[in-house]
Structure 1
Amino acid sequence: MRNKIWLVIIFIGFACSNNSDLLQQASQISQTVKLQIAPDGREAIFDPAFSISKDNGLVVSGETSLSEAKLALFSALEVLKVHLVDSLVLLPEKKLGDKNWGVINLSVVNLRAYPKHSAELVSQSIMGTPVRLLKEEDGWYQIQTPDRYIAWVDRAAIAQKTEGEMEQWRNSKRIIFIPDFEVVKDPGQNEVVTDLVAGSILEVEKENKDSYDLALPDGRRIQVEKSNCEVFSDWKNRELEDIALLTKTAKQFIGRPYLWGGTSVKGVDCSGFVKSVYFINGIILARDASLQFLHGDTISPGHGFSELAEGDLVFFGRAKTDEKPMKVTHVGMYMNHGEYIHSSGRVRINSFDPEAENYNNYRSITWLGGRRVLSRIGESGIVRVSEHPWY
């Protein structure tokens, strides 16, 4: 009897050892797939978990927002030669039904790190932005914006839509709002309905002589002067032939307050500022400075600012050392003659030139180089609105 007990203990120990190795190997494979396909959690969800089933199969649970990542993971796991149990949820989650798309419904909405009003403000989105809904939790939606950024937003900020309704929205006549800010009323001009900020996109219900009757994503109606609008199809298809337009747009932000997570004319953080400048000119950039740093042609800081051109993004932070990796903490946009514009306390212009009155020594010694995004339009992280399928 005693020998039988020892045999059972040895067998269990052997099985546990094998299971432990199996789980470790699966985790290593998962990490490799993550690095290749979904390296940054701000732009993709890829969180597999592994356990052993009763019949010693490998249960793959967790969730991902990328079908290609799920396919790659299960293909790679086949090398383990075990039965795979697919419990990995592919977002959007099923309880959303067919309404797993949406359009931002308020002039500016706050995007949070977690589904709570007290959670960190990580970004913002403006009215008329199409979004993909991933999950719902206690009146909050986890969404993905056109720049691939993932965050949580309050239910009131979203007009939920089916794919068919989104297609109808894409094919409708729309306008983009041009001025910085305006409070607007209903078509009868009796009641205030909402405010609008630059870049808002709305559907046209009726064209009048000097105004448009417009529909908000949730169906509310407003009237806006034609002079404050541009037909969306005309705007999105216009080429940026004069780079000076970027500088002109950027200067219109001068004096606006710095706002962590801000991406509208009401307030911007550093990456939200350059992102807004480019969006107003029809180009979608990645959201955060460290993400923007990954895209575009590299301009080394070694030659000073002489190789920079108007419209280039300029990055600042901590240079790589033997002890620590490089860390990008700030971004601005180069203009001309050594000057760059950025959001730091407020939107302002500083210079790389030590002889200039607006020279900023701290920024100059923390300069990490530049990225020329205009030469790489169409690549990941630098996409024209006209070429983005969500619009």
Structure 2
Amino acid sequence: MRNKVWLVIIFIGFACSNDSKLLQQANQISHAVKLQIAPDSREAIFNPAFSINKDNGIVVSGETSLPEAKLALFSALEALEVHLVDSLIVLPEKKLGDKTWGVINLSVVNLRAYPKHSAELVSQSIMGTPVRLLKEENGWYQLQTPDKYIAWVDGAAIAQKTESEMKAWRNSNRVIFLPDFEVVKDPEQNEVVTDLVAGAILEVEKEHQNSYDLTLPDGRRIQVEKSNCELLSDWKTWELKDVSILTKTAKEFLGRPYLWGGTSVKGVDCSGFVKSVYFINGIILARDASLQFLHGDTISPAQGFLKLAEGDLVFFGRAKTDEKPMKVTHVGMYMSHGEYIHSSGRVRINSFEPEAENYNDYRSITWLGGRRVLNRIGESGICRVSEHPWY
């Protein structure tokens, strides 16, 4: 009897050891897939989990926003030669039904890290931004913006749409609003409906000699002067041939307050500032400074700031050491003659030139280099609005 007990204990111990090894291998495979396809949780969801079922197969649960990541994972897991149980959800979740798209319907909406108003403000979106809906929780929606950024928004901020409704929106006659800010009224009731900020996109309901009747994404109606708008079809085909226009746009933000997570003329953080400048000129950049740092041609600190060109992004932070990795904490945009414009407390202009009155020693000694994005339009993280399928 004692021998049988020992045999059972040995068998259980062996089985547990095998299960532990199998789960370890599955997690190693998952980590490799994540590094290759979904390395940053700000831009992609990839959270598989593994367990062993009674048949000694691997149950793969969790969720991902990337069908290609799931395919890669299961293809790689086949090397383990065990039965795989597929419980990995590909977002959008089914309870959203066919309303898996949306358009931002308020002038500026706050995007949160978690589905509650007290959660960290991680970004913003402006009216007319198309978004992909992923999940719903207590009236909050997890969404993905055109720059791939993933966050949560209050359901009141979006007009939910089906794929066919989004197609109709993309094919509609639309305008982009260009001034900094305006409070607008209903053309019939003459009552305030909303405010607008630069970059808002709206559908044209009716054209008058000097104005447009416009429809907001949720159906509200406003009237805006033609001089404040440009047809989106014309704006999207416009090419940035004179980079000084970027500097002109950037200077329109001077004095605007720094706002963590801000991406509009009402307030901007450092990456939201350069992102807004580029978007107003038809180019979508990655959201955060550390993400923007990954894209474009490199100008290293060793080359010096004189190698920078107008419109280049300039990055600041902690240089790599033997003990710590590099950390990007700030970004601005280079103008000319050693000067760059950035959001730090407020949008301001500083200089790399030690003799200049607006020289910033702290920024100069923490400069990590520049990125020339205009040479890389069309690559990952640098996309023309005209080439983005969501618009």
TM-score, normalised by the number of residues in structure 1? 0.99
SS in 1 for 2:182: strand
**Does residue 60 of structure 1 match 2:69?**
no
1:296-330 CA-partner distances (Å, limit 9, x unpaired): 00001113211000000000000000000000000
Q: Identity of aligned pairs, percent?
A: 87
How far apart are the structure 2 equivalents of 1:154 and 1:390? 21
Q: How far apart are residue 189 of structure 1 and its match?
A: 5.0
Choose 7-16 or 318-327, whichever is displaced more: 7-16
Q: How far apart are residue 7 of structure 1 and its match?
A: 1.4
SS in 2 for 1:342: strand
1:149-195 CA-partner distances (Å, limit 9, x unpaired): 00000000010000000000000000000100001000125211000
Q: How far apart are residue 364 of structure 1 and its match?
A: 0.2
Kept in 2: contact 1:133–1:142 (CA 8 A): yes
Q: What is the match of residue 71 of structure 1?
A: 71
SS in 2 for 1:39: coil
Kept in 2: contact 1:140–1:154 (CA 8 A): yes
Letter in 2 for 1:136: E
SS in 2 for 1:347: strand
Q: What is the match of residue 120 of structure 1?
A: 120
Q: What is the match of residue 352 of structure 1?
A: 352
**Does residue 142 of structure 1 match 2:130?**
no
Summarize the alignment of residues 1-391 of structure 1 with structure 2, pairs less than 5 Å apart. 1-188=1-188, 190-391=190-391
**RMSD over equivalenced CA pairs, Å:** 0.6
Kept in 2: contact 1:186–1:192 (CA 8 A): yes
1:227-258 CA-partner distances (Å, limit 9, x unpaired): 11000010011000110000000000000000
SS in 2 for 1:40: coil
Q: How far apart are residue 3 of structure 1 and its match?
A: 2.0
Q: How far apart are residue 8 of structure 1 and its match?
A: 1.4
Letter in 1 for 2:176: I
How far apart are the structure 2 equivalents of 1:364 and 1:75? 48
How far apart are the structure 2 equivalents of 1:249 and 1:139? 37
How far apart are the structure 2 equivalents of 1:266 and 1:110? 12
Aligned pairs, how many?
391
Kept in 2: contact 1:124–1:261 (CA 8 A): yes
Kept in 2: contact 1:189–1:223 (CA 8 A): no
How far apart are the structure 2 equivalents of 1:303 and 1:189? 60
How far apart are the structure 2 equivalents of 1:284 and 1:244? 18
SS in 2 for 1:258: coil
How far apart are the structure 1 equivalents of 2:326 and 2:60? 35
Q: How far apart are residue 130 of structure 1 and its match?
A: 0.2
How far apart are the structure 1 equivalents of 2:214 and 2:7? 78
Letter in 2 for 1:371: R
How far apart are the structure 2 equivalents of 1:387 and 1:257? 32
Q: How far apart are residue 4 of structure 1 and its match?
A: 1.9
How far apart are the structure 2 equivalents of 1:190 and 1:40? 47
1:43-81 CA-partner distances (Å, limit 9, x unpaired): 000000000011110000000000010000000000100
Which runs of 5 or more residues in structure 1 are unaligned?
A: none
TM-score, normalised by the number of residues in structure 2? 0.99
Letter in 2 for 1:49: A
Kept in 2: contact 1:353–1:359 (CA 8 A): yes
SS in 2 for 1:273: helix
How far apart are the structure 2 equivalents of 1:356 and 1:31? 49
SS in 1 for 2:322: coil
SS in 2 for 1:364: helix
Q: How far apart are residue 2 of structure 1 and its match?
A: 2.5
Q: How far apart are residue 5 of structure 1 and its match?
A: 1.9
How far apart are the structure 2 equivalents of 1:288 and 1:238? 26
1:118-145 CA-partner distances (Å, limit 9, x unpaired): 0000000000000000000011000000
Which runs of 5 or more residues in structure 2 are unaligned?
A: none
Q: How far apart are residue 209 of structure 1 and its match?
A: 1.1
